[in-house]
Amino acid sequence: MNGTGTRTGLDALFAPKGIAVVGASRRPAKLGATLARSLHGFAEQGGHLALVNALDETMHPSVRAAAEAGPVDLAMICVPAAACPDVLAEAAGAGARAAVVCGGGFAEAGGPGVGHQERLAAIVADTGLRLLGPNTSGFLAPHAGVTASFVPGVAQVRPGRVAVVASSGGVNHALSFLLTEAGHGISLAVGLGNAIDVCAPDVLDHLADDPETRAVALHVESVADGPRLVEAVRRLSARRPVVALVVGRHDVGAFAASHTGALATSWRTTRAALAQAGAVLVDDERELVDAVGALAVVRARPAPDPGVGVVTAQAGPGLLLLDDLRGRRARVPELAGTTQETLATLLPPLTFQANPVDTGRPGPELGRVFHAVASDPEVDLVAGYALHEPDAVDLLAAACEGRVPGVPIVFGLGGTGAAVVEGRRALLAAGIAVAADPRGVAAGVGALRADARARARRSGAVQPRRVPTRVGGPHDEDQAKGLLERLGIATAARRACGSRAQAHAALAELAGPVAVKILDAAVLHKTEIGGVHLGVRTPAELDAALDRLDGIGADRYLVERMAPSGVDLVLGARRDPVFGPILLLGLGGTTAEALADVAIRLAPLAPDEAAEMPAELAGHALLDGWRGGPVLDTAALGRVASALGDLLVANPGIDEIEVNPLRLTPDGLVALDAVVLPREAD
């Protein structure tokens, strides 16, 4: 156990003194032979490397024999799946404290593979040995001299500052190669495979104390324990930035199941949970490399909305960069008058100098231009781009001259050839984040901004506030709205009616057009069965509506004053099977999730954090007085959403609370319908 209360103990895995390769072979194409070659450097550095193969007289006949010749902390197991459990048990008995089971044929393959995996899990539980895999291609720990992988080319991965934690062994290697090509190198790179023991939270907790790691790239295909992953990311991101790539935006479920046999996880919920925990989100592996590479070099100061200064030596790439930044909703403020006055003394008069700043072509003044922009009071970080033109300007000198303490620069150096590669490496060595193109610069800047914003809002765990009452069991609409009222959520005036006479009295009392609905806790989708009638004004219209409700079996009615027109939202609190209580906000009522225009947060959630959710919606402009419409009070929305989340967290008997629609009117938010679903008994 470590200080976080989780079982890690991964030193024997990632920094062993001795390694046994079980299933080693003299035949070069065999997996065990490739792995033994990869570990040759470990032996050259003084580690005990033992090759085990009972059929080869030149090798050790067993792990126990290998352990008698020297320490064996780690067993690399490269034998058929059916033989792996016995080998693992033997390794544990010989004193190995960690193992990696390479290759597949386990739960992801179905059939007998499920049993093989269950036997591995039982041995781990009985012995306490830490197991990576099965179904993994291993890991890389270059600083420790351990390349525990059977993938050719791993010896070319140099030590660096970025750690990779990947669900897939293949992705682990792909990212390691990309990061090496980008000049960053690797501190640790782990492919989790089926992760029956060592999982992402274990490795993340291990990395929190790793002095070689400056930033972490996290690749997620599925999540078995959402709260544990969230807490691990939250702990780590407070000390080192975490950049996450989540797979599953599109329908890849069948292939994913055959790949790892893993639990399907909601892509949107996973991304929302990781972002709330402090991770930076990216959409693809190229963006991941640019983002984590920038954060491995520098972090921007915490700020709620960092401003970006843009300096480009060529206008066309500058437009690409600005367009990408705008797409990321980056704030690119106009520079102060004093800054523009300084720039006017440095640049030709026809260049654009308000932000972005276009130098026309790089020259000796470039460093002073960077410095002027970085010194602007509205600028928290600088995005720069220039083509490699060594005869015109020394870009390394310019970038160094332009630095202002606390204002990072992400510099894009365009070009090709050895001199450009060397130029990028020199910038990295000088502590300046580097990219190869405008999109890479935007990805790096976006990552620094997201990380700075996450750190600015970090305030520790949110404790649920007091709720009006403990609730449980099914609720009809009148009861559900009464519950919302006790939370401070406005509803329209209404009357629950058990007879026609009561319904007519309610129509007269409410004085105006009303909605007439079936009142039955068992009916969740009233509109679909004809259970809602709107705009009822007269007794005759009411009788007609009641006749239709009686026709679908209604014995109770809800008569409710019609709300003014406005913009409809859906606000819900539900229990996600992986992450637990979550909040969901969307535009458009029932179409919100179909259009994927939703914002998601884990509950409990502080009101000020909940108030940020509307800004994430693609249609957020509709909430800001669109064409003379009502304007959303985000603070009020935050209080409503937070209260709903608190209610769910405090009441284990509730599975879901949905307010749909929650209408934004000129008078504020009004709940027009509400559903409370009890939690089914396990």
Question: How sure is the predictor about 462, in pLDDT bands with cuts at 50, 70 and 90?
Answer: low
Could you give the CA distance from residue 164 to residue 175 in angstroms, rounded to a whole number?
A: 7
Q: Are 644 and 659 in contact (CB under 8 A)?
A: yes
pLDDT digits (tens, 9 = 90+) for 499-513: 999 999 999 999 889
Taking residues 194-222, report their average pLDDT: 97
Most distant pair of Cα atoms in the chain: their distance: 99
Could you give the CA distance from residue 610 to residue 615 in angstroms, rounded to a whole number?
A: 10
* 545 vs 363, more confident: 545
pLDDT at 152: 82
Question: Coil, strand or helix: which one is 18?
Answer: strand
Taking residues 193-200, report their average pLDDT: 97
* Tokens at 457, concatenated: 């809002």
Question: How far is the CA of 187 from the CAs of 10, 97, 132, 176, 247, in angstroms?
Answer: 15, 22, 18, 10, 23
Q: Which of 46, 148, 42, 167 is nearest to 99 (CA)?
A: 148
In the chain, domain spans? 11-295, 315-457, 493-561, 567-678
pLDDT digits (tens, 9 = 90+) for 1-17: 343 434 458 999 999 99
Taking residues 553-572, report their average pLDDT: 95
Question: How sure is the predictor about 209, in pLDDT bands with cuts at 50, 70 and 90?
Answer: very high
Q: Are 302 and 455 in contact (CB under 8 A)?
A: yes
pLDDT at 464: 58
Question: How sure is the predictor about 463, in pLDDT bands with cuts at 50, 70 and 90?
Answer: low
Taking residues 632-638, report their average pLDDT: 96
Taking residues 208-219, report their average pLDDT: 97
Question: Coil, strand or helix: which one is 676?
Answer: strand
pLDDT at 519: 97
Q: Which residues does residue 138 pair with via DSSP β-bridges, in sequence order?
A: 149
pLDDT at 3: 39
Q: Where do we find the tokens 């610069």?
A: 441
Q: Where do we find the tokens 């320490």?
A: 71
Q: Are 226 and 578 in contact (CB under 8 A)?
A: yes
Return the amino acid letter for 167. Answer: S
pLDDT at 361: 81
Question: How far is the CA of 583 from the CAs of 502, 615, 668, in angstroms?
Answer: 37, 15, 20
pLDDT at 255: 46
Fold of the 567-678 domain: D-amino Acid Aminotransferase; Chain A, domain 1 (3.30.470)
Cis peptide leading into 85, omega within 30 of 0?
Answer: no
pLDDT at 259: 37
Is the confidence at residue 223, as pLDDT, over 60? yes
State residue 623 phi and psi, 5-degree precision. -95, 5
Could you give the CA distance from residue 481 to residue 29 in angstroms, rounded to a whole number?
A: 69
Taking residues 87-114, report their average pLDDT: 95
pLDDT digits (tens, 9 = 90+) for 316-362: 999 999 999 999 999 999 999 999 999 999 999 888 999 999 998 88
The side-by-side arrangement of strands in the sheet containing 159-166 is 146-149, 138-141, 186-191, 159-166, 215-220, 242-246, 280-282
Query: Of 304-308, 586-590, 666-670, which range is least confident?
Result: 586-590
Same topology between domain 493-561 and domain 567-678: no
pLDDT at 9: 81
Question: How sure is the predictor about 612, in pLDDT bands with cuts at 50, 70 and 90?
Answer: very high
Is the confidence at residue 264, as pLDDT, over 60? no
Architecture, CATH, for domain 493-561 = 2-Layer Sandwich (3.30)
Q: Where do we find the tokens 């972490």?
A: 216
| H/E element, 470 | none
- The pTM score is 0.93
pLDDT digits (tens, 9 = 90+) for 32-60: 999 999 999 999 999 999 999 999 999 99
pLDDT at 24: 94
pLDDT at 365: 94
pLDDT at 465: 63
pLDDT at 6: 41
Q: Which of 415, 385, 409, 387 is nearest to 320 (CA)?
A: 385
Could you give the CA distance from residue 15 to residue 206 in angstroms, rounded to a whole number?
A: 12
Residue 487: count other Cβ atoms within 10 Å of its Cβ.
17
Cα–chain-centroid distance for residue 428? 26
Question: Coil, strand or helix: which one is 297?
Answer: helix
Q: Residues with Cβ < 8 Å from 416, sequence gap 6 or more?
A: none
Average pLDDT, the chain: 92
Taking residues 186-211, report their average pLDDT: 97
pLDDT at 156: 87
Return the amino acid letter for 101. Answer: V
Percent above pLDDT 70 for the chain = 93
* Tokens at 169, concatenated: 């062994």
Cα–chain-centroid distance for residue 7? 23
Pairing mode, strands 159-166 and 215-220: parallel
Fold of the 315-457 domain: Rossmann fold (3.40.50)
Q: At what angle do helices 226-237 and 200-207 cross, to 10 degrees?
A: 20
Is the CATH number of domain 11-295 3.40.50.261?
A: yes
Taking residues 269-292, report their average pLDDT: 97
Question: How far is the CA of 141 from the CAs of 70, 174, 505, in angstroms?
Answer: 21, 15, 77
